[in-house]
């Protein structure tokens, strides 16, 4: 048997016009380069295919699909479908899973990500049901993660890619480990952490060079070139992409050639050589059209249109741009993204449903067996003298059983109808909440936060549900008299949908207090939003219509010469400070012991303002209570604040990006299989 696992991390998105990872883990036990190196083998197998038994035909057809997927994706899908048809006739689940995965690979290379994901999930379902096939699980998890990379969802991609990496390490599979490393490197590239992406790329390159995997080595060169380009090192970027192109041409990898040529076009575009860029984009387009690689065609169209525009050929630029827009809308439309997200949720739900169904069927079989045994034992005990009585009882039992069976059939039909109604309602609600998540994410200042602190800060943000009651906020105020950075960690009452509504109200009130009312002192801002929230929710001293509010830690950083002035005001939540010259000591400045927007007496409380001088290298943290309140560990208890302080002190020598990863991993390991009890938010800033 030519056992081949195709499509593991087939292409990892970096940028629209930049690199994709190409062909990572095309085959674990054979090589896609066979297509270029030995067409005689293909011809021989075609002759064998005519008279071979069905089991051999499946293997040959799946092999053809694997070696042709980067040369002719449509042909690869055709071969895999033929293999699937035979596998279904033979009821060979293992072969069916492989064929489904190969069909997914073909659609992936055609940039039909929704269809590719559906086949990958079907294949994974079968592999999980069969059990024991860890190499198959490794490939499916990696491919699903790669689809989310192409949808620019790095966090969801990391969930699957990290599982794949752990399996690869467990079974000590070098190629699988390297493929997972380079895919996770792409996740970090999506997150704009290009230094970390390079680290993963070079780790993967070393392993692929040891295993003599030429296509994978070329893929590593492409990703390394992409990272260097993002780091503005064009010399190294051009060096590595040319190395990749040379390998793709030698191996006959058409997709890889399209990829590398487009990247050379991008490099020339960035240096202002538009004429040369246009030449490379057109060459890349020619290669991409040979195999119908829509994602590469899309990148070529975009580059050609931009080049024509810079060269003053506006008519040509407009014509190509229309082609680009049509294809881009087809590949990345909102409905497709929504369907992919729903597909993932349905996969998780169906997995649990299958487990429940198996347990129910097993219980019914055992109950029927027990009833039969009792009937036989009773018949033997009564003996021949009671044959007539036994016959009467048997007839009566049959009638009763048939009556019960009919009643059960009616009940089961009602249950099934109710289940279908509930499932439809559940899907509608989930869809609405996921759309609400997109709206909530739009107010989170992720880009502004990264731009302001340039890697000297992190945000650990893990909502309990799809939407969150926690949110973070930042505003930079630059005038002739002041240059301040305001930022806050906010915990609204509740979580999920109610908390999300409160977070939008709180976000708007913060913006109004600063941008409309001109408040810059933290205590003044809290007083302002305290009044605003009470008015918005129609709270009154006599009878609050909505007794809800927010806990908040709000900081203001103001550079004054070589020092920095930190001003802080808090509602229930504190700020923690670790001085650079005292890394083993944590200073806590507590907030006021009352929330925003909830009446505790006859009048609104005024918030206190705290000031402290900081120097370069000092680190401060603001947070909500989700991390400390999370249940976990061996005894299933809360994490609590003191261990969290000790953990933060233990990581002061690390970069802020590394601190984020350590805290995130600590939370996951502590929680283990327990449910997350609340939204989690921690902000760390190094002065």
DSSP letters spanning 482-525? -EEEEEEEEEESSSHHHHHHHHHHHHHHHHIIIIIT---SHHHH
Residues 213 and 175: beta-carbon distance below 8 Å: yes
Query: pLDDT tens-digit profile of 116-148?
Result: 999 999 998 898 888 878 888 899 999 998 888
Predicted pLDDT at 15: 41
Span of 12-16, 185-189, 382-386, 619-623 with lowest mean pLDDT: 12-16
Range of lowest pLDDT (159-163, 328-332, 412-416) = 328-332
Contact 280, 310 (CB under 8 A): no
CB 204 within 8 A of CB 50: no
The maximal CA–CA distance of the chain, rounded, in angstroms, is 111
DSSP 601: S
Which CATH architecture does the domain made up of 444-686 adopt?
A: 4-Layer Sandwich (3.60)
- What average pLDDT does this structure show over 474-485? 85
Q: Which residues contact 604 (CB under 8 A, 6 or more apart)?
A: 527, 530, 531, 534
Q: What is the mean pLDDT of the chain?
A: 83
Q: Which residue has the higher pLDDT, 671 or 151?
A: 671
Q: Where are any strands of DSSP class E within 515-658? A: 550-560, 563-571, 575-578, 587-589, 610-615, 619-623, 631-632, 637-638
Ramachandran bin of 494, using left for φ above 0, alpha for ψ from -120 to 50, beta for the remaining angles: left
Fold adopted by 253-337: 1.25.40
Q: At what angle do helices 254-270 and 234-251 cross, to 10 degrees?
A: 160
Among 449, 446, 685, 443, residue whose Cα is nearest residue 568: 685
CB within 8 A of 395, min separation 6: which ones? Answer: none
Nearest CA among 487, 514, 447, 503 for reference residue 621: 487
Nearest C-alpha neighbor of 114 from the set 341, 291, 351: 341
Q: What is the Cα–Cα distance from 468 to 46, expressed in whole angstroms?
A: 57
DSSP lists the bridge partners of residue 684 as 458, 621
The sheet carrying 563-571 orders its strands as 470-478, 483-492, 550-560, 563-571, 610-615
* Residue % of the chain over a pLDDT of 70: 82
Question: Is 358's pLDDT higher than 60?
Answer: no
pLDDT score for 369: 65
pLDDT at 5: 36
Residue 22 has pLDDT above 60, yes or no: no
Both tokens assigned to 630: 């999370």
Return the structure tokens found at 671.
Answer: 């929680």
- Please indicate whether residue 35 or residue 418 has the higher confidence score (pLDDT): 418
Residues 635-664 pLDDT 10s: 999 999 999 999 999 999 999 999 999 999
Distance set, CA 347 to CA 98, 122, 144, 353, 431 (Å): 18, 9, 12, 10, 15
Q: Between 545 and 260, name the one with better pLDDT.
A: 260
Q: For residue 574, give every residue at least 6 positions away whose Cβ sits within 8 Å of its Cβ, in sequence order, or none.
A: 553, 588, 589, 590, 591
Residue 493 and residue 499 in contact, taking contact as beta carbons nearer than 8 Å = yes
Q: In Å, how far are 341, 377, 380, 403, 405 from 390, measured between CA atoms?
A: 59, 12, 10, 20, 22
Lowest mean pLDDT among 8-17, 167-176, 418-427, 597-606: 8-17
Sequence-ordered alpha helix ranges (H) in 444-486: 446-453
> Which residues make Cβ contacts (< 8 Å) with residue 471, sequence separation at least 6?
440, 443, 444, 490, 492, 503, 506, 507, 681
Its pTM stands at: 0.43
Question: Which residues, 6+ apart, have CB-to-CB distance to 78 below 8 Å?
Answer: none
What's the confidence (pLDDT) of residue 194?
A: 92
The pLDDT, as a whole number, for residue 345 is 55
Q: 373 near 144, Cβ under 8 Å?
A: no
Distance CA 436, CA 432 (A): 6
DSSP SS3 for 622: strand
Q: Which H or E run contains 476?
A: strand 470-478
Q: Contact, 187 vs 161, CB < 8 A?
A: yes
Please, which pLDDT band fits residue 430 given cuts at 50, 70 and 90? low
Cβ pair 630, 677 in contact under 8 A: yes
| 3 state DSSP class of 610 | strand
Of 596, 574, 572, 600, nearest in space to 587 by CA: 574
Per-residue pLDDT for 4 more than 60?
no
**Distance from C-alpha of 123 to C-alpha of 428, rounded to nearest angstrom:** 26
- For 170, phi then psi, to 5°, come to -60, -45
CA-wise closest residue to 217 among 237, 239, 247? 247
Tell me how far the alpha carbon of residue 611 is from its chain's centroid.
Answer: 40
- CB distance 73 to 82 below 8 Å: no
Q: How far apart are CA 527 and CA 584, in angstroms?
A: 34
pLDDT of 366 > 70? The answer is no
In this predicted structure, the answer to whether residue 600 has a pLDDT above a threshold of 80 is no
């Amino acid at each position: 048997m030519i056992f081949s696992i195709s499509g593991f991390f087939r292409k990892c998105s970096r940028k629209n016009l930049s690199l994709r990872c190409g062909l990572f883990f095309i085959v674990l036990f054979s090589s896609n380069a066979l297509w270029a190196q030995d067409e005689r083998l293909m011809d021989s197998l075609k002759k064998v295919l005519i008279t071979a038994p069905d089991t051999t035909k499946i293997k040959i057809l799946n092999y053809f699909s694997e070696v042709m997927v980067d040369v002719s994706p449509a042909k690869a899908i055709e071969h895999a479908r033929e293999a699937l048809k035979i596998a279904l006739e033979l009821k060979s689940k293992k072969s069916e899973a492989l064929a489904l995965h190969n069909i997914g690979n073909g659609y992936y290379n055609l940039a039909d990500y929704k269809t590719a994901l559906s086949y990958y999930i079907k294949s994974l379902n079968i592999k999980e049901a069969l059990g024991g096939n860890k190499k198959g699980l490794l490939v499916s998890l990696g491919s699903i993660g790669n689809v989310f990379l192409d949808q620019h969802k790095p966090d969801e991609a990391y969930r699957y890619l990290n599982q794949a990496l752990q399996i690869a390490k467990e079974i000590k599979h070098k190629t699988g480990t390297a493929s997972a490393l380079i895919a996770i490197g792409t996740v970090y590239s999506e997150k704009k952490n290009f230094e970390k992406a390079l680290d993963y790329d070079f780790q993967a390159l070393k392993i692929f060079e040891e295993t003599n995997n030429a296509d994978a080595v070329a893929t590593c060169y492409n990703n390394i070139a992409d990272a260097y380009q993002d780091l503005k090192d064009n010399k190294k970027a051009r060096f590595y992409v040319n190395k990749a192109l040379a390998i793709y041409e030698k191996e006959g990898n058409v997709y890889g050639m399209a990829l590398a040529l487009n990247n050379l076009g991008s490099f020339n575009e960035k240096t202002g050589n538009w004429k040369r860029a246009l030449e490379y984009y057109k060459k890349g387009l020619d290669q991409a059209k040979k195999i119908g690689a829509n994602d590469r065609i899309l990148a070529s169209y975009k580059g050609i249109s931009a080049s024509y525009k810079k060269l003053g050929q506006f008519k040509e630029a407009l014509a190509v741009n229309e082609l680009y827009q049509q294809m881009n809308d087809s590949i990345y439309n909102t409905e497709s993204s929504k369907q992919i997200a729903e597909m993932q949720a349905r996969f998780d739900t169906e997995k649990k449903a299958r487990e429940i169904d198996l347990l129910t069927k097993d219980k019914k079989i055992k109950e029927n067996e027990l009833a039969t045994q009792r009937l036989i034992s009773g018949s033997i005990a009564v003996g021949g003298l009671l044959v007539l009585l036994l016959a009467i009882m048997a007839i009566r039992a049959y009638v009763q059983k048939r009556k019960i069976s009919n009643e059960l059939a009616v009940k089961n039909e009602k249950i099934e109808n109710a289940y279908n109604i509930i499932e439809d309602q559940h899907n509608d609600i989930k869809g609405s909440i996921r759309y609400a998540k997109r709206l909530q994410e739009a107010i989170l200042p992720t880009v502004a936060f990264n731009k302001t602190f340039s890697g000297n800060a992190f945000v650990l943000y893990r909502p309990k549900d799809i939407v969150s009651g926690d949110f973070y906020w930042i505003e930079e105020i630059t005038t002739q008299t002041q240059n301040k950075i305001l930022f806050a960690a906010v915990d609204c009452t509740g979580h999920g949908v109610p908390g999300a509504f409160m977070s939008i109200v709180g976000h708007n009130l913060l913006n109004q207090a600063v941008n409309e009312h001109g408040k810059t002192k933290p205590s003044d801002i809290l007083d302002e939003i305290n009044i605003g929230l009470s008015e918005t929710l129609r709270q009154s001293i006599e009878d609050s219509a909505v007794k809800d509010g927010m806990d908040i830690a709000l900081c203001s950083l103001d550079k004054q010469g070589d020092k920095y002035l930190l001003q802080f005001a808090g509602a229930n939540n504190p700020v923690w400070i670790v001085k650079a010259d005292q890394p083993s000591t944590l200073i806590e400045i507590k907030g006021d012991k009352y929330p925003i927007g909830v009446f505790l007496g006859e009048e609104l409380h005024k918030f206190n303002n705290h000031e402290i001088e900081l120097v370069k290298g000092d680190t401060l943290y603001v947070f909500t209570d989700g991390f400390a309140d999370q249940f976990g560990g061996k005894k299933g208890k809360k994490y609590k604040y003191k261990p969290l302080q000790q953990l933060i002190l233990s990581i002061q020598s690390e970069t802020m990006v590394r601190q984020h990863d350590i805290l995130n991993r600590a939370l996951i390991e502590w929680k283990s299989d327990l449910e997350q009890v609340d939204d989690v938010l921690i902000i760390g800033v190094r002065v």
